[in-house]
Amino acid sequence: MAQLVTVTSSDLPESRVELKVQVLPAALDLAVSRAAGEMGKSLRVPGFRKGKVPAAVVASRFGRETILDEAIRAELPMWYAEAVAEAGIEPVGDPHIQIGELPKNDGEPLPFTVEIGVRPTAKLGDYKGLKVDKEELDAGDERIDEEVQKLREQAGRLEPTDGAAADGDTVVMNYVGSVDGEQFEGGTGSDQVIELGSGRFIPGFEEGLVGATKGDERSLNVTFPEDYAAEHLAGKDAVFAVEVTDVRARKLPEIDDAFAEEVGYENLAALRDDIRERLTESEDRRIRSTFREACIDAAAQKAKVDIPDSLVAGRASEIWEQTIRSLSAQGINREAYMQISGKTEEEILKEAAPDAEQSLRRESTIAAIVEAEGIVPTDVQLEEALEHSAEHEGVTARELLVTLRDEGRADQLEKELAARLAVDLVEESAKPNPVKAQPKD
């Protein structure tokens, strides 16, 4: 991959650096050419087909500076990433980028500066042979009973009952709500189904139906929460006239061989054996993961790492943005999440600060261990790490590694694997201190 930039790095206070970057003339000229090509796709010029307007004609129409601005906007993220890789830094938070004087002629470089927080350097304490708490694996009869009970509840059937409704029962109802004697929009419902104790309705509504029987008519006095989504109802007292048309109780099956057969097993013993095996596997993975993290936390606690508040804020912002990207994939945007959580962005960032600081402490400690131990992944280890991806892409792990190196993308893989090997070293040398598993909520 051709070099795009040259970089000079200078350390600043509070774990920050300044990068003075020059985009090489060849890279800049290529970016300008691309930008002109993109702008020319929508340009109509007599004598040329749409999308086939030469760059020189596009430049005469828009002017060099306009095309250069578009080129910078399109390519700056890649130039920044290249500058970071060239400088060999691990950035934290958002960069402050300042573009220098724009070149007036072809064949001239483009200067820009970057100021960015970087991962702090840790001064290691002890990191081998640490005594670390490790949960004992618990897949005993009590845990199995809990899982069987969950299956039993899932297999339960709702059946009509003449008895009084209790928590867990389902009520079918018609209702009309009013505020100050006036019905309000959205306050009327027919054949509505509600599970008592589910917390789906406003406080006091479900509780007011406990003890109701089929045919009952009840008047429920409730108050809308202050943060209720419909602002015209927030904090107001309301009365709901409710007619109970049906009460259905959940009938649970007996826990026996017939129940086991119903959920796909030969008998109850086979069901319990399968649950025990799955619990053992999942608990072993969870305990191993928790122990690995605890080992690094123990090493980080013994290391000295100075983490400025500005760096913590930068990492907290990264965590928040990553959360938003994950939620966006589920159709939840930033504003919707803040409304659901009832928190401002400032409050969310403040809550993220402890995790942000600990993540920086861990990463700094791991990086220092990699350096202290001289950990450099071998090609065999890199190929093992690529096996799954290579199989997915229909190539060998060796071929994929060569491709990554040719494209300049192997460095990140090597860093990630070196970090994993450092954690392996700390974990394997640790002395587990067995502790009882904490009760699950």
Rg (CA), the chain: 32
Task: Give the pLDDT confidence of 30-74 residue by residue, as tens digits.
Answer: 898 888 777 766 666 555 656 555 666 666 666 778 888 889 999
Q: Report the amino acid identity of residue 32.
A: V
% the chain with pLDDT above 70? 93
List Cα–Cα distances, 206 to 138, 196, 234, 243, 306, in angstroms.
Answer: 37, 5, 19, 13, 53
User: Considering Cα of 139, then 144, then 146, then 147, what sign does the dihedral take?
Assistant: positive
How large is the average pLDDT for residues 152-166?
89
User: Considering Cα of 58, then 60, then 66, then 67, what sign does the dihedral take?
Assistant: positive
Crossing angle, helix 345-373 and helix 410-429, to 10 degrees? 80
The half-sphere exposure of 76 on its side-chain side, counting CA atoms within 13 A, is 17
Q: For position 42, what pLDDT does the model report?
A: 62
Burial 414-428 (b: 16+ CB within 10 A, else e): beebbbbbbbebbbe
Q: Of residues 326 and 51, which shows the higher confidence score?
A: 326
- Can you tell me the distance from the alpha carbon of 227 to that of 137, in angstroms, rounded to the nearest whole number? 43
Kindly report the average pLDDT of the chain as a whole number.
90
SS (H, E, C) the chain: CCCCEEEEEEEECCCEEEEEEEECHHHHHHHHHHHHHHHHCCCCCCCCCCCCCCHHHHHHHHCHHHHHHHHHHHHHHHHHHHHHHHHCCCEEEEEEEEECCCCCCCCCCEEEEEEEEECCCCECCCCCCCEEEEECCCCCHHHHHHHHHHHHHHCCEEEECCCCCCCCCEEEEEEEEEECCEEEEEEEEEEEEEECCCCCCCCCCCHHHCCCCCCCEEEEEEECCCCCCCCCCCCCEEEEEEEEEEEEEEECCCCCHHHHHHCCCCCHHHHHHHHHHHHHHHHHHHHHHHHHHHHHHHHHHHCECCCCHHHHHHHHHHHHHHHHHHHHCCCCCHHHHHHHHCCCHHHHHHHHHHHHHHHHHHHHHHHHHHHHHCCCCCHHHHHHHHHHHHHHHCCCHHHHHHHHHHCCCHHHHHHHHHHHHHHHHHHHHCEEEEECCCCCC
Q: For position 60, what pLDDT does the model report?
A: 61
Q: Report the amino acid identity of residue 80.
A: Y
Above 60 in pLDDT, residue 9?
yes
pLDDT band of residue 227 (cuts 50, 70, 90) is confident
Task: Give the pLDDT confidence of 243-266 residue by residue, as tens digits.
Answer: 999 999 988 899 999 999 998 999
Instruction: Provide φ and ψ at 8, rounded to 5°.
Output: -120, 130
Task: Give the pLDDT confidence of 283-315 residue by residue, as tens digits.
Answer: 999 999 999 999 999 999 999 999 999 999 999
- Can you tell me the distance from the alpha carbon of 4 to that of 127, in angstroms, rounded to the nearest whole number? 40
Task: Give the pLDDT confidence of 391-417 residue by residue, as tens digits.
Answer: 999 999 999 999 999 888 898 899 999
Highest mean predicted confidence (pLDDT) among 49-58, 175-184, 335-344: 175-184
- Can you tell me the distance from the alpha carbon of 308 to that of 117, in angstroms, rounded to the nearest whole number? 10
> CB-based contacts of 397: which residues, under 8 Å, 6+ apart?
383, 384, 386, 387, 390
What is the residue extent of each domain of the chain? Answer: 5-118, 158-251, 262-435
**Is 158-251 a domain of CATH 3.10.50.40?**
yes
Q: Which fold has domain 5-118?
A: Alpha-Beta Plaits (3.30.70)
- Can you tell me the distance from the alpha carbon of 35 to that of 31, in angstroms, rounded to the nearest whole number? 6
> CB-based contacts of 155: which residues, under 8 Å, 6+ apart?
252, 253, 259, 262, 263
Give how far the C-alpha of residue 183 lies from the chain's centroid of Cα atoms, to the nearest Å.
43
Closest residue by Cα to residue 242 from 218, 211, 215: 218
% the chain with pLDDT above 90? 69
Closest residue by Cα to residue 201 from 181, 231, 171: 171
Task: Give the pLDDT confidence of 345-375 residue by residue, as tens digits.
Answer: 999 999 999 999 999 999 999 999 999 999 9
Superfamily of domain 262-435: Trigger factor, C-terminal domain (1.10.3120.10)
